[in-house]
Chain A
Amino acid sequence: MSGQVPPLAVSGVGFAFPGRQVLADVSFEVAAGEFVAILGPSGGGKSTLLRLIAGLLPPSAGEVKVAGERVRGPRRDVGMVFQKPTLLPWRTALDNVLLPAGFRRGASKAEVARAEELMVAVGLPDAAGLYPAELSGGMAQRVGLARMLLHDPDLLLLDEPFAALDAMTRERMALVLQDLWLARPRAAVFVTHSIPEALLLADRVLVLSGRPARIQADWRVELPRPRLTETMAGPEFNQLALALRRVFDEVAA
């Protein structure tokens, strides 16, 4: 069905809080199966942009189209992961994965089976019955990834999902995400302020900065997949990172 209709089209989008213009004239498209990283400084409007795409906030100008339809509110064919794990402390890990289906009681047999498969896929085969307080930060975000994938969405939105994790866990989680995505490549928008994380995951990097924020650069990342920890040590990766860093400093200056 994709063909000519892009899974995501953002055109001329602006957003203002009372007294502050956050985003101005942001336009880009994401093709089917394309992983796009949006790179920008903290507090620079990246999360706001993602909320506009998710239908959690209405844009002040322009429009967002998902699968060719104008976004008016949250959609079932879009899955999201947040910076904090945002798990319900009073529900088990499995029930949290099943939240989009109305928990275990509201879910169909197929949905429960899918949730169980996803728990295995994110590397938590034995955590179904644990409560969030019993999970480490990395485990909690794995639950968040499984929850995002429950209804097999065509568009993934990730809002700095690994930013609160320690460096080692963070890298490992990026590779877990890559594996999940490679199992079924689909349109994804990944917001981050980490250049290595963007290069490790993305087919394309958009640099978003300025006040109000605009798209300052649009880069393709041609590194072969699957990318590994070793990829990050290679000369190609480092050259890209350095060049991207220059762009970043230039637009920030």
Chain B
Amino acid sequence: MRRLWNLLPPLVTLGLILGAWHLATGPTGLPSYLLPGPAQVGRALWGGFADGSFWPHIGFTLTSTLVGYAIGSVGAVLTGICVAESRLFERFVYPYIVAIQAAPKVALAPLILVWFGFGLASKVVLVALICFFPLLVNTIIGIRAADRELIEMARSFSRSPVFIFLHVKLPAAAPAILGGLQIGIVLALIGAVVGEFVASDRGVGYLIGSATVNMNVSVMFAGVIILSVIGMAGSSIVQALQRRIIFWQADRSAPPPSET
């Protein structure tokens, strides 16, 4: 009951927006080649799913996003561990990481397409590259921020550096790493769509691009809605993961017991 009650305010907002949209695109409103009405967009969405024409595009975008995200994330965490744990590695590599991080990776999209072709590979590379850097930086910061006193305590009990890394530093870095994964999943989707915009014969980004050429604005809207749903789903999955993995930071609303 309470949940339903909580859902009401955003639903009211949605209703108002749809209503205003409907009125704005009515007979006296904007022409449908600029802004189609909600009903038209709904029909475009329904039609695309019903005749199955959307599915290959969604499948392609999901594949490049997820594969690229997995490669970029694993690479970022491993590199971050090396930088945070090895002074030598840090001195050789870190200045360049900082430099590359400041550059907009999206600008590399055309180059990557030339190198890796117009198929899946180039999208995967672009996605991996885009979600790599924020997670890398978060991993480094997270490991470095591990409590010095906890590390000293573990040392005092003759624990090995490997033990201290696995059981003190890495869990301490988990919130920052999961924060980086959260940023990464959103960026990954952007990377996939940008790659598809630049050159592709499939994907939701391609769908939007080709609808633009045909001035089929309803399908463009449908594509944006599909991307939003994918983005929100990815974000929620990472968030759920976050709550499970860093359970000790979950809001324990019960206060600690008083002294007995």
Contact = CB atoms under 8 A, between A and B. Distances in A.
B195 to A, nearest CB: 38
Top 4 A-B pairs ranked by shortest CB distance? A86-B153, A100-B157, A89-B248, A80-B156
B171 A88 contact: yes
A103 interface: yes
Nearest to B154: A99
A86 B167 contact: no
B152 interface: yes
Interface string B139-157: 0000000010110111111
Contacts of B256: 133-136, 139
Contact of B152 (A56, A76, A88): A56
B158 interface: yes
Interface in B76-117: none
A134 B171 contact: no
A56 B163 contact: no
Interface in A70-97: 73-76, 78-80, 82, 84, 86, 88-91
A168 interface: yes
Contact of A82 (B149, B168, B254): B149
A90 B171 contact: yes
A43 B122 CA distance: 59
B155 A74 contact: yes
B176 to A, nearest CB: 14
A54 B248 contact: no
A86 B157 contact: no
Contacts of B159: 99-100, 102
Given A102-B163, A133-B252, A86 B257 contact: no
Find the residue from B147, B155, B247, B256 having the highest chain A CB count within 10 A: B256
B257 A136 contact: yes
B258 interface: yes
Given A99-B154, A135-B257, 19 more contacts: A55-B156, A56-B152, A74-B155, A74-B157, A78-B156, A79-B157, A82-B152, A86-B149, A86-B150, A90-B174, A90-B247, A90-B248, A99-B157, A102-B163, A132-B248, A134-B256, A136-B258, A139-B256, A147-B157
A210 interface: no
A91 B157 CA distance: 16
Interface of A: 51, 54-56, 73-76, 78-80, 82, 84, 86, 88-91, 99-100, 102-103, 131-136, 138-139, 147, 166, 168-169, 172
B257 A139 contact: yes
Nearest to A133: B252
Given A56-B152, A86-B153, A100-B158, A138 B167 contact: no
B51 interface: no
Contacts of A55: 156
Nearest to A57: B152
16 contacts: A74-B156, A80-B153, A82-B152, A84-B149, A88-B168, A88-B171, A90-B171, A90-B174, A133-B252, A134-B254, A135-B257, A136-B256, A136-B257, A136-B258, A139-B256, A166-B259
Nearest to A76: B158
B150 A88 contact: yes
A132 B158 CA distance: 22
Contacts of A75: 158
Nearest to A134: B256
B245 to A, nearest CB: 9
A88 B167 contact: yes
Contacts of A99: 154, 157, 159
B75 to A, nearest CB: 25
B157 to A, nearest CB: 4
Find the residue from A75, A90, A91, A147 having the highest chain B CB count within 10 A: A90
Given A82-B149, A88-B150, A88-B168, A56 B259 contact: no
Given A56-B156, A99-B154, A138 B259 contact: yes
Contacts of A86: 147, 149-150, 152-153
B82 to A, nearest CB: 23
Nearest to A144: B153
B204 to A, nearest CB: 39
A1 to B, nearest CB: 21
A130 to B, nearest CB: 9
Contacts of B152: 51, 56, 82, 86
Contacts of A76: 158
Nearest to A166: B259
Nearest to A91: B167
Contacts of A139: 256-257, 259
